[in-house]
Amino acid sequence: MGSDPRPRKQIHLAAHFPGVNNTTVWADAPTRRPTATPAGGAPPRPSLGSQIDFASFEHLARTAERGLFDFFFLAEGLRLREHKGRIHDLDVLGRPESLTVLNALAAVTERLGLAGTVSATFNEPYELARRIASLDHLSGGRAAWNVVTTSDAFTGENFRRGGYLDRADRYTRAAEFLATARELWDSRPDGGAPRRVEHRGPHFTVRGEFALPRSPQGHPVVIQAGDSAEGREFAASAADVIFTRHSGLEAGRAFYADVKRRLPAYGRRPADLKIMPGVTFVLGDTAAEAQEAAAEIRRRQVSPQTALLTLEQVWGVDLSSYDPDGPLPEIDPDPDGELARGRVRIADPRAVADKWRALSRAKGLSIRETVIETTGRQSFVGTPESVAREMDAFVQSDAADGFILVPHLTPGGLDPFVARVVPLLQERGVFRTEYTGTTLRSHLGLPEPARPARKD
Ligand SMILES: Cc1cc2nc3c(=O)[nH]c(=O)nc-3n(C[C@H](O)[C@H](O)[C@H](O)COP(=O)(O)O)c2cc1C
């Protein structure tokens, strides 16, 4: 280890509140005992309230702050997902609005960053800039905005008259949206009288004075979570953090290098943009115990019904007559078939189907076993020591700057990580032992945005 002349990179950590996906196993705080397996068929329902109950958010946020995490993260879905006309079980229980939850969390935390996902496609810059600046004021400089572009017309039906923004326009709108928000945030540099903002662009015309004085961070932290070339370019030009799905070592390194190499064109340094994959973890006292727990979690996540639903995402046709414990369908996917609504469409279903069939034949796996094998794999499985070592190696080899942890159990799933892995990362000298600043920007080591001079 001592032969590497580079200083060891510090790891950044965030806690994702995973309320509404089918990989979350709900548990009552603060126990780690699962109360339900969600999604598909009729599993026992999580007790109403767990997912919209403030105590759940508070538990995870307080745990993350106890662990000195950089930020707490909320995803957002703007339409309840459905499949064959049935709303997903977890969505039935409710999907609260991110910034409202974060404002409430600001009151029960002191240093933890508070990051909310809000779509640039279905909002307006003035109003959203105001809401995010409000969070930044109320929290003393801890606000972050995950600028997503939201990919489907199904969601658009809740918002737009007659359909959806073209794919090609999503990022031009997002870029102009963010630039406009920053013009508004910059319009009152010294807290004095408001200066008039005059913005005219292809997507927005905004003329008026911003409602709030400059917020503690000046520019709240901006996160980006899209993977296309346009998404990466947008992140390189304007984001502070990328939330990515590239959580494997090799894929992570390739993504990391690709994005960091785009930065100089925008006059930015590699350290100005942090790359944080979403990852999962399973801990055990021994490696074997952790593997066993990981396998059990995967079985809970992929019930027989969930296995068939997952397959239908790929095949695009009704597969309800198939036996989840039997072989994969011989029929080919219908690329134009109906998929679960509110989910990202798979680019090449035929290729995925072929790969899954080959895997199932090679290993003799049933439908359910194939789905368990191909989806929901945990990123870090092992003893606290091995997980700390692997995470450190991952960051030091430039596959990431840190992680957005997605616990399987909600809301108590982060507790063992904070109790057992954080101290080991601290011992390795790669994670803070106290908060040194008060703003999220300072936790992340991001530059202060330039303070524009007053023009009037
Ligand atoms: C890791 C990750 C998390 C995302 N989270 C959300 C989300 O919470 N809400 C949302 O509407 N879209 C979310 N998205 C979707 C993106 O905003 C974007 O619409 C989608 O990835 C398609 O854009 P792309 O073609 O650039 O990948 C997420 C995407 C990624 C990769």
Candidate ranges 157-161, 182-186, 247-251, 299-303; pick with highest mean pLDDT: 182-186
* Residue entry with tokens 């091995």: 386
The CB of 158 under 6 Å from ligand 1? The reply is no
Whether the CA torsion 81, 85, 88, 94 is positive or negative: it is positive
The CB of 18 under 6 Å from ligand 1? The reply is no
The model's pTM is 0.89
pLDDT in tens, 190-237: 767 889 999 999 999 999 999 999 999 999 999 999 888 999 999 999
Q: In the prediction, which pLDDT does 83 show? A: 72
User: Do residues 352 and 314 touch, judged by C-beta distance below 8 A?
Assistant: yes
Instruction: Name the 3-class secondary structure at 200.
Output: strand
Q: Residue 367: which region, alpha, beta or left (left: phi > 0; alpha: psi -120 to 50)?
A: alpha
Q: How far is CA 190 from the centre of its chain?
A: 34
Whether the CA torsion 432, 433, 437, 439 is positive or negative: it is positive
* Residue entry with tokens 């703007």: 78
Residue type, 319: L
Q: Could you tell which of 148, 222, 280 is best to mutate to test the pocket of ligand 1, judged by most ligand atoms within 8 Å of the CB? A: 148
pLDDT in tens, 329-346: 999 998 777 666 656 567
pLDDT in tens, 276-308: 999 999 999 999 999 999 998 888 888 888 888
Q: In the prediction, which pLDDT does 168 show? A: 75
How far apart CA 139 and CA 264 sit, in angstroms, is 32
Confidence of residue 164 (pLDDT cuts 50, 70, 90): low
Q: In the prediction, which pLDDT does 450 show? A: 83
User: Do residues 37 and 25 touch, judged by C-beta distance below 8 A?
Assistant: yes
Shortest-distance Cα residue to atom 4 of ligand 1: 225
Confidence of residue 31 (pLDDT cuts 50, 70, 90): very low
Shortest-distance Cα residue to atom 23 of ligand 1: 226
The CB of 150 under 6 Å from ligand 1? The reply is yes
Of 292, 291, 299, 289, residue with least CA distance to 369: 299
Phi and psi angles of residue 298, each rounded to the nearest 5 degrees, phi first: -65, -40
Q: Could you write out the DSSP letters of every residue in 339-357?
A: --BTSPPPS-HHHHHHHHH
Q: In the prediction, which pLDDT does 22 show? A: 60
Atom number, ligand 1, closest to the C-alpha of residue 76: 8
Mean pLDDT rounded to a whole number for the chain: 87
Question: Is 414 a residue whose pLDDT tops 50?
Answer: yes
Atom number, ligand 1, closest to the C-alpha of residue 74: 8
Q: In the prediction, which pLDDT does 77 show? A: 82
- H or E element, residue 16: strand 12-17
Question: Is 355 a residue whose pLDDT tops 70?
Answer: yes
Q: Across the strands, what pairs with 116? A: 74, 145
Among the residue ranges 265-274, 402-411, 419-428, the one predicted with the least confidence is 402-411
Shortest-distance Cα residue to atom 2 of ligand 1: 225
- Ligand 1 mean position to 117 CA, how many Å? 9
Residues 6+ apart with CB under 8 A from 328: 311, 353, 356, 357, 360, 367, 370
Shortest-distance Cα residue to atom 1 of ligand 1: 244
Among the residue ranges 35-39, 47-51, 323-327, the one predicted with the least confidence is 35-39
